[in-house]
Structure 1
């Protein structure tokens, strides 16, 4: 069944049509939430919240944009709301040891095939990049995730965020520059620590 027909049925309350309609969007919505929030459990909850909100308001969808654009806009707004709620709250690093009654244990990294050194280097690089992305402003973090991680086009990002395409391109450029500087600063700090 094509998306247009499924959409019409879903607007009339057909739950099965709604489930078929959103099936292709679930992974991408989860990935957006995961990259924005950084925690799989929270990302799963936010993805669920996205689809609940889509279900509740699908009757109001005016079809002035693509259905996918509408879903991704809802998902990003829910993530941004969550980030605003979390400001000032203490977060626990995944690299932090787990405290037990009789001491502490380090988190273990599962061996996926490559050497332990390669895995550690890749994980450290990923952590540094994710940490740096986390330090960006919300609008810069959003456009970096949508463009460079999720692969959305400039046009799609413009529709999802409600900004002109030129503004999106400008934000992506500034976000990349900020990210580059953050990563450079972190490497310089790390090198200084090794010299001491």
Structure 2
């Protein structure tokens, strides 16, 4: 069983000062906790605008309620608990995404010079590099948006953020048994969805986007080879390792904004029409140099 993370003596002192009204002490607590807060929100929500809005609302509520922070857990855990409840409330009111949202977006890109042009412009950014673990993490959250928000929160808190069972249950205001039920349901649902979707898991999976996007990158920007993902636990480990603000962040921000628009409007077919990452016979292209030359991108196969 994973132990609860206890506050450091310095954090305890800063928390006491913040409870007494010291805004600078509160700001220092936030600076230390912000990476964990933002990491949680990126994996829970994904969409950059929503992440920023929820983070801002979290900090406002935290300052308003700082007197209630007893310091029994890390300040970052307390912030994540506030953020988690805000995120769940917002996501309950929003339209749940299709598990195949990425496939639908790829189809729309393949049919639209404007959409595919946006993607290629992101590839041309000098700072861009393809990193497969970052894209696996993006996919995790995108597919996660098809889960009931309560189940997704349990999954992200335990399997990605790394809270103990007691911390996660307390953060969500539920019992240990309810947490276990939601976590089990979320793991099984995500396993089933990825088994049908992801070609890194199952050769019959309909989504080859990891391969297709890597093929579009310049040879010196392709990153590490595509991994074989043995199971859901291994996928979660990759998600934990991936930075939310890495080299692919601008491309993923574009994906989030366009996919959100399409899911809200119900656009795009979830059937794989774009053939992203497949060869001309409709089979997975296993060539190490798959894709067009760097100076001649094939925009029809995004």
**What TM-score comes out, normalization by structure 1 length?**
0.76
Separation in 1 of the partners of 2:45 and 2:60? Answer: 19
Unaligned runs of 5+ in 1: 113-118
Whose relative contact order is higher, 1 or 2, with alpha carbons under 8 Å and at least 6 apart? 2
Check whether the contact 1:54–1:71 (CA below 8 A) recurs between aligned residues.
yes
Match of residue 70, structure 2, among 63, 69, 73:
63
Offset, 1:120: 8.2
1:76 alignment counterpart: 84
Separation in 2 of the partners of 1:156 and 1:35? Answer: 18
Q: In 2 relative to 1, CA 125–31 (structure 1 residues): closer, same or farther, beyond 3 Å? A: closer
- Map 1:10-21; keep pairs closer than 5 Å: 10-21=18-29
2:137 is the counterpart of 1:138: no
Note the aligned Cα RMSD (angstroms). 3.5
Q: In 2 relative to 1, CA 171–18 (structure 1 residues): closer, same or farther, beyond 3 Å? A: same
Separation in 2 of the partners of 1:163 and 1:64? Answer: 20
Q: In 2 relative to 1, CA 135–15 (structure 1 residues): closer, same or farther, beyond 3 Å? A: same
Offset, 1:79: 1.0
2:197 is the counterpart of 1:190: no
Which of structure 1's runs of 4+ aligned residues deviate more than 6 A?
Answer: none
Separation in 2 of the partners of 1:40 and 1:139? Answer: 20
Q: In 2 relative to 1, CA 33–120 (structure 1 residues): closer, same or farther, beyond 3 Å? A: closer
- What CA deviation, in whole Å up to 9, does each residue of 1:38-76 have, x standing for no partner? 1123212211211111011212x0528525343222110
Q: Secondary structure at the match of 2:13?
A: helix
Q: In 2 relative to 1, CA 6–155 (structure 1 residues): closer, same or farther, beyond 3 Å? A: same
Greater percentage in helix: 1
Q: Secondary structure at the match of 1:136?
A: coil
- Map 1:28-107; keep pairs closer than 5 Å: 28-59=36-67, 61=68, 63=70, 65-66=72-73, 68=75, 69-87=77-95, 97=109, 103-104=114-115, 105-107=117-119
Unaligned runs of 5+ in 2: 1-8, 199-203, 208-270, 273-281, 284-302
Question: How many residues in Structure 1 have an aligned counterpart in Structure 2?
Answer: 186
